[in-house]
Homo-oligomer: A and B are copies of this chain.
Amino acid sequence: MNHLTYRLRDFADLSQSDCDVLDRLSETNRTVFERGSSVVSEGEPVENWHVFYDGWAYHSKQLENGDRQIVGLVIPGDICGLNPAIVQRADHTVTALTRCEVSVIDRKTMKRTLETSSSIDRAMQVATFEIEAIQREWTTNVGHRNAVEGMAHLICEMHFRLRQAKVIDGDRFALPLTQQLIGDCLAISVVHANRTLSELRRLGLIAVSGGAIIILDLDGLYEAGHFDPSYLNIS
């Protein structure tokens, strides 16, 4: 069983044959997207499903003044929420943060698969709803929390999701985001992102080393970010 299938098992009870189907599905049409390249572009037709076998990406919306709001992060094993059966034109862009291996599954194949297995269908729906719940939390994070709280919350979320997805198992993880991009997640300027990160270090909550975040005080970080992971366990 590959790790994508493994991941989707968290979302629904999958039979052995479901798992085989998913394994095959994720291994065909494996496409590589280099760091910085667009997987889906705002305004363009959505033709295929994109399932991230490996690599990170971000969902962003472009603003008039050149700013960019990041509306979601994709980690290995995530599906990209844009459902080509429903969405005609993408309302946002998906960009690879690292080199990504993506299973590009065309609409029809996926349709047939979902019709054949209600468990897989359910797993995809649950995954979609998790994205939705995360989105609501982000609105809250960006809106009502200050920079320190928001950044602590973001780090907690990524740590939790990475552990849940079994991508990591300790309190250290690579975060392939520049401070500019972190700022775009939280809707703060680069300069302020930098100061806020320093503040979290000063508080002894995290350390940073070569693009990796080391969580020094998880409880403290949860508290600082008012992080409550229940939104990540909706089903």
Contacts and interface: CB of A to CB of B under 8 A. Distances in A.
Contacts of A72: 136
A86 B140 contact: no
Contact of A143 (B125, B126, B143): B143
A234 B81 CA distance: 13
Interface stretch (A22-30, A59-67, A155-163): A59-67
Contacts of A143: 69, 142-143, 186-187
Nearest to A92: B136
A135 B139 contact: yes
Interface string A194-235: 000000000000000000000000000000001000110011
Contacts of A145: 63
A231 B91 contact: yes
A109 interface: no
User: How many copies of the polypeptide does the oligomer hold?
Assistant: 2
8 contacts: A63-B226, A69-B144, A71-B136, A71-B140, A72-B136, A89-B230, A92-B136, A139-B139
Interface of A: 43, 59, 61, 63-64, 67, 69, 71-72, 81, 83, 85-89, 91-92, 122, 125-126, 128-129, 131-133, 135-140, 142-145, 186-187, 226, 230-231, 234-235
Given A83-B125, A139-B139, A139-B142, 20 more contacts: A61-B140, A63-B144, A63-B145, A67-B144, A69-B139, A69-B140, A81-B132, A86-B125, A86-B126, A86-B235, A87-B234, A87-B235, A91-B136, A91-B230, A91-B231, A132-B135, A142-B142, A142-B187, A143-B143, A143-B187
